[in-house]
Amino acid sequence: MITITEKAGERIRQSLVESGKSADGLRIRVVGGGCSGLQYKLDLDVEKKGDKVFEKSGSRVYVDRKSLLYINGTTLDWQDSLQATGFHLDNPNVKRTCGCGESFIV
């Protein structure tokens, strides 16, 4: 289960309009890399076979089954502050992050 906040849903819809792509949602993937071993990749995309789909107020998030193992229970939010602007994933499965906060270990 992925929870999408109202702010994140609004930003997904806005990004889809601005992008001009034929995408209809946000894809979240977990890939190898970074200081701690795993990192998130977010892209505008379309639903693919086998995806788990999460929706809030018309905003869709796609997650492949392998990535869902690492991010199940995560809340997707949008932050807009002096320190950080962008999507923020509050992942309860993370055991440790690197110093820059870009990668993690579960």
According to DSSP, residue 74 is labeled -
pLDDT of residue 84: 79
Tell me the pLDDT tens digit for each residue of 62-93.
Answer: 999 999 999 999 999 999 888 778 999 998 98
- For residues 87 and 49, give the distance between their C-alpha atoms in angstroms, rounded to a whole number: 25
- pLDDT confidence of residue 36: 67
Confidence at residue 102, expressed as pLDDT on a 0 to 100 scale: 66
Angle formed at CA 49 by CA 71 and CA 10, multiple of 5 degrees: 55
- The pLDDT of 42-55, averaged and rounded, is 96
Q: Where does 3-105 sit in CATH, by number?
A: 2.60.300.12
Domain-by-domain residue ranges, the chain? 3-105
pLDDT the model gives residue 50: 95
Displacement of CA 3 from its chain's centroid (Å): 10
> Is residue 55 pLDDT above 90, yes or no?
yes
Q: Which two tokens stand for residue 78?
A: 């949008």
What is this structure's pTM? 0.88
Count Cβ atoms below 10 Å from residue 40 Cβ, excluding itself: 19
